[in-house]
Amino acid sequence: MFRRRSRLWLIGALLVAGLALLGRLPLGSWSMLSASPALEALYAPVQWWQSFSLWFHERRQLHAELDMLRERTQRQAAL
C-alpha cells in the first residue's frame, strides 16, 4: 500500500515538473502546442473555482442593490 502511494506521488510530481518545464519553452513551439490540452486540464479546476466564487460575489452584490432599490421605492411611495 505504501509503495503504491509513493509511486503515485512520484508520478504526479514528475508530471507537474514536466509541465512546469514545458511552460518555460517559447510560445508556439511544437512541445508547447502539444502540451496545451494537458495544461488546460490542469487549469480547469482553478477556472471553475474562480467562476463559482465570482457568481456568489455578483449574486450578493445584486441582492444588496435590490434591497436598496426596494427601500428607495418604499420611501418614495411614503412621500
Question: Which tops the pLDDT comparison, 50 or 3?
Answer: 50
Closest CA to 13 of 21, 1, 2, 24: 21
For residue 1, pLDDT over 60 is answered with: no
Is residue 20 within 8 Å of 32, Cβ to Cβ? no
Compute CA distances 37 → 7, 19, 52, 75, whole Å: 24, 11, 22, 56
Tens of pLDDT, residue by residue over 29-75, are 666 667 778 778 878 888 888 888 888 889 899 999 999 999 999 99
Closest CA to 21 of 7, 32, 37, 8: 32
Model pTM? 0.42
Question: What is the reported pLDDT for 74?
Answer: 95
